[in-house]
Amino acid sequence: MTKFKKGDLIRVHAKHFNAPDGGTNDNGLTFQENWERDGNGEWCHGKVSWVYRKKSREAQKYRILYDDGTTMESLEDHMEAAPEGDSDAYSEESTEYEQEREGDIGTGKMLHLSLILVTWRGGLPAMVTRICQRQ
C-alpha cells in the first residue's frame, strides 16, 4: 500500500534536489540555496500526479507536479503530506483550471491548450519547450 495517492498535496525539502556531487549553479549556489534565496522557503510543494508501481527492493516513486510547474519523480521517503494551508496558490489554481477545462469539453466551445515544459539543470532552467494543441 502506498503512502500517497494521485491528487494528494505534498511537500519535499529543497535539499533533496541538490546535485549529488554538490554541484552549484553559476552563482555558486546549490538548488536549496537558490530556492530559498528566491523567497520560496525550505519546502517544494506539489501534487501527486502519478503513482508508480513499486518494484521489489526499490523505493516507492511518485511523479509530482510541483507548484513552479515542473514535473519530477520523487521518492516516498523524501515526501510528506503538506499541512493544511501550507501549499502555494498554484495547486489551487491548477485544480480550478482542470475543473473549468472539463466543464468546457462537452459544450462545443473551442478549446486551446498551451503547455510550457521546462527542463532544469543545476537549479536553473536549461530548456523551455512550448506545446500547443487546438481543438
Please tell me which residue, 31 or 124, carries the higher pLDDT value: 31
Helix spans in 9-88 (H): 31-37
In a domain, 116, yes or no: no
Q: What is the pLDDT of residues 101-112, one digit of tens each?
A: 444 445 555 554
In a domain, 29, yes or no: yes
The amino acid at residue 3 is K
**For the whole model, what pTM was predicted?**
0.59
Picking from 31, 36, 38, 34, the residue whose alpha carbon sits closest to that of residue 15 is: 31
In a domain, 57, yes or no: yes
* Domain total in the chain: 1
Domain that holds residue 80: 9-107
In a domain, 119, yes or no: no
Q: Write down the pLDDT at residue 19.
A: 87
Q: What is the pLDDT of residues 3-23, one digit of tens each?
A: 999 999 999 999 998 888 888
